[in-house]
């Protein structure tokens, strides 16, 4: 049995698509026969499905921050620092300060990317000791390259395979202040050269990150996105759908890079032309974006009416999320950022809901695979509105087409199938490591 340690980064109490995908990947690999252990760093992860992460948090976010911010913090007694790494303490304290905004994290990012040569050397060595001496896996899989600071030193002690998954690292790096961005990218590139291979979830992102980090394409391999297709609501009947207005919805993290504000602007145009249509917006709203979002929402509601443009908040659990998605006729996420995954597109498709998305990033690959959905010219809200109106002119998807859409997701992305495929890819990387 192959033992795989997956090192994931908690999202400071928020629902994070990468954290959730890491958790589902661990579950999928277990179904495929691997001994997969999910090791959280920074903060405990928050997911809307069964959480299989280990109880202990490494590189605890509070200590990591204080190591950089307070001279001599690393010399404090270990018993006190271990208390601050308690998941309960981290959860409590990050309720009051949970920023993961790259613009505020430039110096800390540089420190972490230096691994055992930076202020967090004690925490980094602790994680290395745990991986090498306690877990002793066959494969260590980092869920992003921003965790790569420990890899050069890890490789001096660990004789197994070390991989990483890239799933949005560039957007964090691009968000760093200019004074730290170039140095951070150079450190990530340098650290990535120590990996035995790099995994992504799309052809697009493999090519993009190969260029972005100046790494050879031969290092990159693809694995599929994993989705738990169990315990999902039944598809709505045509009679149930016909009883309400046509509904276009946004469901993703509420932030500029996902295009929440662009959704509202576009819906202004669509709702003014179609009185039989309404729009809803939901998803996790980070604290740093609350004022921005509510200002945008209020302005749009004043133009089209709050009863036709509603804020649904963030669903508390997976059942509530799927119920929200099932009530849409069309998912519309006008992300200006070139998405590496597009997990929310597959979640909507699982509920029989097609999507309207910009023609960039991983979206063309996803739409082609699903056989349903529409693409618009990136950045062109006139084209997006025209495509939305074109969709509304047609009839709602029949239950048969919704079922076909659902089964396409289930067939290609269920945990059993994707677990086997991911394990095969990992085993191939073990046999043929691709280093620079």
Runs of H (alpha helix) within 95-167 = 106-113, 121-129, 151-157
Rounded Cα gap, residues 3 and 245, in angstroms: 51
Rounded Cα gap, residues 156 and 374, in angstroms: 49
Q: How many residues does the chain have?
A: 436
Rounded Cα gap, residues 309 and 32, in angstroms: 44
Taking CA atoms, 176 is separated from 64, 107, 114, 169, 294, in Å, by: 18, 9, 16, 11, 25
Predicted local confidence at residue 85, as pLDDT: 60
pLDDT in tens, the chain (436 residues): 899 999 998 765 555 778 889 999 999 999 999 999 999 988 777 777 778 877 778 877 566 666 665 565 555 555 545 555 656 555 555 554 544 555 567 788 898 898 888 888 888 898 999 999 999 999 999 999 888 999 999 999 999 999 999 999 999 999 898 999 999 999 999 999 999 999 999 999 999 999 999 999 999 999 999 999 887 888 876 655 556 789 999 999 999 999 999 999 999 999 999 999 999 999 999 888 999 999 999 999 999 999 999 999 998 888 889 999 999 999 999 999 999 999 999 999 999 999 999 999 999 999 999 999 999 999 999 999 999 999 999 878 899 999 999 999 999 999 999 999 999 999 999 988 876 5
Rounded Cα gap, residues 313 and 254, in angstroms: 10
- In sequence order, the β-bridge partners of residue 4 are 36, 139
Question: Domains of the chain by range and CATH?
Answer: 3-226+415-431 (3.40.50.2000), 238-412 (3.40.50.2000)
Taking CA atoms, 15 is separated from 282, 283, 345, in Å, by: 13, 9, 16
Predicted local confidence at residue 80, as pLDDT: 47
Instruction: Give the 3-state secondary structure of residue 53.
Output: strand
Rounded Cα gap, residues 199 and 381, in angstroms: 33
Taking Cα atoms as reference points, which of 101, 9, 105, 61 lies closest to residue 292? 101
Which residues, at least 6 apart from 296, have a Cβ–Cβ distance to it below 8 Å?
Answer: 260, 261, 264
Rounded Cα gap, residues 407 and 399, in angstroms: 12
pTM score: 0.89
The sign of the CA dihedral 266, 267, 269, 274 is positive
Tokens describing residue 203: 């052809």
Predicted local confidence at residue 108, as pLDDT: 84
Rounded Cα gap, residues 327 and 323, in angstroms: 7
Rounded Cα gap, residues 323 and 319, in angstroms: 6
């Amino acid at each position: 049995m192959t033992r795989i340690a997956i090192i994931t980064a908690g999202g400071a109490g928020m629902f994070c698509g990468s954290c959730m995908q890491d958790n589902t990947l661990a579950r999928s690999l277990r179904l495929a026969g691997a001994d997969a252990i999910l090791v959280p760093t920074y903060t405990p992860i928050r997911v809307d499905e069964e959480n299989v992460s280990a109880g202990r948090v490494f590189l605890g976010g509070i200590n990591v921050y204080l190591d950089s911010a307070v001279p001599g913090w690393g010399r404090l007694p270990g018993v006190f620092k271990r208390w601050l790494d308690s998941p309960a303490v981290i959860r409590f304290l990050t309720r009051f300060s949970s920023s993961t905004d790259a613009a505020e994290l430039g110096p800390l990012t540089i420190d972490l990317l230096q691994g055992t040569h930076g202020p967090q050397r004690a925490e980094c060595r602790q994680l290395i000791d745990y991986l090498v001496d306690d877990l002793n896996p066959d494969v260590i899989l980092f869920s992003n390259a921003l965790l790569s600071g420990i890899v050069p030193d890890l490789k001096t002690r660990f004789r197994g395979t070390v991989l990483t998954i890239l799933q949005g690292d560039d957007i964090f790096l691009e968000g760093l202040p200019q004074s730290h961005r170039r140095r951070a990218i150079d450190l990530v590139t340098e650290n990535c050269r120590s990996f035995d291979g790099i995994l992504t979830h799309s052809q697009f992102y493999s090519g993009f990150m190969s260029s972005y980090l100046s790494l050879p394409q031969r290092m990159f391999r693809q694995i599929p996105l994993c989705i738990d297709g169990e315990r999902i609501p039944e598809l709505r009947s045509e009679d149930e759908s016909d009883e309400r207005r046509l509904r276009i919805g946004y469901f993703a993290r509420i932030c500029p890079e996902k295009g929440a504000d662009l959704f509202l602007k576009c819906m202004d145009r669509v709702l003014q032309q179609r009185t039989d249509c309404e729009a809803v917006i939901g998803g996790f709203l980070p604290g740093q974006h609350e004022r921005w979002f509510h200002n945008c929402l209020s302005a749009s509601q004043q133009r089209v009416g709050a009863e036709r443009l509603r804020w649904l908040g963030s669903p508390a659990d997976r059942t509530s999320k799927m119920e929200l998605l099932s009530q849409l006729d069309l998912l519309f996420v006008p992300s200006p950022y070139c998405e590496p995954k597009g997990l929310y597109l597959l979640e909507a498709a699982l509920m029989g809901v097609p999507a309207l998305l910009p023609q960039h990033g991983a979206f063309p690959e996803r739409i082609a695979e699903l056989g349903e959905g529409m693409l618009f010219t990136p950045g062109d809200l006139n084209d997006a509105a025209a495509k939305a109106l074109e969709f509304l002119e047609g009839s709602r998807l029949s239950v048969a087409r919704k079922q076909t859409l659902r089964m396409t997701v289930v067939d290609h992305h269920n945990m059993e199938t994707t677990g086997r495929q991911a394990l095969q890819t990992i085993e191939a990387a073990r046999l043929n490591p691709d280093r620079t």
